[in-house]
Amino acid sequence: MTKKEAILRAAQEAFGQQGFSATTVKDVAERAQVSFGLVSHYFGNKQSLFLAAGFDMADRLYVRLEEAVGGGRSGLACVENYMTTYLDFTQRHRNRFPILLRCSPFSHMEPSVDVTKVAAKFRHFIDVLARCVSRGMADGSIRPLPVEDTALIIYGNIIGSVRTSLLTPFGSEGLCEETIRHVIRSLQAENAETADDTMPGTARVLMDSHPNTPQHA
């Protein structure tokens, strides 16, 4: 791992755990075991570091999502693959993923952070879902629905499940798989096949298949 990568990982942990206001560049430097000056050299100010850390996590997730939906045999299967992959990714990276809950247009943003850049980055996630929904209506696996609104509603369900799982004290056992089932039931066209596809099972099954995944990954 390069020092720049170590800084990004440390920033994701710090901002994710403490939030933007409570995190300092010095704190990130200490976590990464580098000098304050090196962090400033690579990323400039705290706002730029925050965006870089969030966008790095977003890009990693985006690649996984594109791979997941690429193998779907129907639009409905693509939606299930998207949700399964997204929710599994949050659990695999649960110590660093909260950066994407804070560096998000679906959360309160500090006035000093460029919200337009954040919104543009998250637009990619919505666009992938909209593409899946459009495909599903075309192939008959998803009932007729407003594409944009449906994509936003699906994403809202994902975010709600993730926030509940990672940020609240409420019991959430089985919440991820139930979120997927709920969305698929609401989308599925009458007489359409179920959405099981190349991704085996739901998010909970995938999580259970690797219970010893390192929590700091």
**Confidence bin at 215 (pLDDT 50/70/90):** very low
**Percentage of the residues of the chain whose pLDDT score is greater than 90:** 76
Q: Average pLDDT, stretch 86-100?
A: 94
Work out whether the CA dihedral 142, 149, 113, 97 comes out positive or negative.
negative
**Confidence bin at 171 (pLDDT 50/70/90):** low
Q: Average pLDDT, stretch 75-98?
A: 96
**Confidence bin at 67 (pLDDT 50/70/90):** very high
Give the 3-state DSSP-derived string for 147-188, with helices as H, strands as E and coil as C: HHHHHHHHHHHHHHHHHHHHHCCCCCCCHHHHHHHHHHHHHE
Considering the entire predicted model, what is its pTM? Answer: 0.85
Q: Looking at residue 113, what is its pLDDT? A: 86
Arithmetic mean of pLDDT over the chain = 88
Q: Looking at residue 211, what is its pLDDT? A: 41
Q: Looking at residue 173, what is its pLDDT? A: 80
> Domains plus CATH for the chain?
47-208 (1.10.357.10)
* pLDDT over 50 at 196, yes or no: no
Q: Average pLDDT, stretch 157-167?
A: 92
Q: Looking at residue 193, what is its pLDDT? A: 64
**Percentage of the residues of the chain whose pLDDT score is greater than 70:** 88
- Residue 204 φ then ψ, to 5°: -65, -40
Q: Looking at residue 71, what is its pLDDT? A: 83
* pLDDT over 90 at 155, yes or no: yes
